[in-house]
C-alpha cells in the first residue's frame, strides 16, 4: 500500500490545513515521534478534528503494527 514508503518518524511536525499560510495557531497540532519507540510515520490533515495517522511497521515484523507511540501538542480545549 501507500504507507510502504514511510521511512522514518515525524519530528515536531506541525499539521496545517490545506492552503493555510502563516504561523501555526492554537489547534494546529504538532506531532512528534522522534524518540526511542516512536513509530508515527505520516500525518494527513482531514478536518480540524480528524487526522489520518500512518504508523510505521514493527521493527521485528514489518507485516504488523501492534502498538503506537507518539506525542501531540498545541491542542485547543475543545479539540
Hey, where are the domains in the chain? 6-18+25-78
pTM of the full predicted structure? 0.79
CB hemisphere CA count around 70 (13 angstroms):
24
Residue 22 region by backbone torsions, left for phi larger than 0, else alpha for psi between -120 and 50, else beta: left
CA distances to 31, 42, 43, 47, 63 from 51, rounded to whole Å, are 11, 10, 7, 7, 23
Q: Which residues contact 35 (CB under 8 A, 6 or more apart)?
A: none
Q: What is the pLDDT of residue 3?
A: 46
pLDDT tens digits, one per residue of 25-77 = 999 999 999 888 888 999 999 998 999 999 888 777 778 777 888 999 999 99
Residues linked to residue 43 through DSSP beta bridges, in sequence order: 53
User: If pLDDT is split at 50, 70 and 90, which confidence band does 7 have?
Assistant: low
Amino acid at each position: 500500500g501507500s504507507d510502504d514508503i514511510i521511512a522514518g518518524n515525524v519530528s515536531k511536525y506541525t499539521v496545517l490545513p490545506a492552503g493555510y499560510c502563516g504561523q501555526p495557531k492554537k489547534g494546529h497540532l504538532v506531532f512528534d515521534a522522534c524518540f526511542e519507540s516512536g513509530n508515527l510515520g505520516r500525518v494527513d490533515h482531514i478536518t480540524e478534528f480528524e487526522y489520518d495517522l500512518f504508523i510505521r511497521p514493527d521493527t521485528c515484523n514489518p507485516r504488523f503494527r501492534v502498538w503506537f507511540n507518539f506525542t501531540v501538542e498545541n491542542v485547543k480545549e475543545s479539540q
